[in-house]
Amino acid sequence: MKLVIIGANGATGLCLVQQAVDAGHDVTAVMRNTDNYPIQHENLKVVKGSVFSVDSLVEHFQGGDAVMSCLGTNVYRNVTIYSGTIPVIIEAMRKAKVSRFIVVTSWCTSGYYVV
């Protein structure tokens, strides 16, 4: 499969990218800053893109079978990372004709335990 992974720099994204390439998938990792990305693999392409710009994403989504989002934040007040980006991502997917979208999030779970 050809997977496009957004939020590939975070802890969850890094794990997902590694698992995907290890499983033999072709992966495009889209991120703001591609400097010093720790994973290198022949099936991995690391590219710059903005989750706030449809035009920035469409070219990277072309030919993809699925878009996977691991977007997250360490800001806990007035969070708009999800509500502000999902419409952009969906529009880019429509333009690129990608129909599968998987979202993984662990936002606001750090340090909170239920006993």
Helix, strand, coil percent values for the chain (each to nearest 5): 30, 20, 50
| Domain harbouring 85, CATH code | 3.40.50.720
Tell me whether residue 51 is in a domain.
Answer: yes
What confidence category does residue 10 fall into, taking pLDDT thresholds of 50, 70 and 90?
confident
The overall average pLDDT reported for the chain is 88
Predicted pLDDT at 73: 72
Tell me whether residue 48 is in a domain.
Answer: yes
Predicted pLDDT at 84: 80
Domain count, the chain: 1
pLDDT at 66 over 50: yes
**Higher per-residue confidence, 104 vs 87:** 87
d(CA 114, CA 90): 34
Tell me whether residue 74 is in a domain.
Answer: yes
Tell me whether residue 22 is in a domain.
Answer: yes
Tell me whether residue 25 is in a domain.
Answer: yes
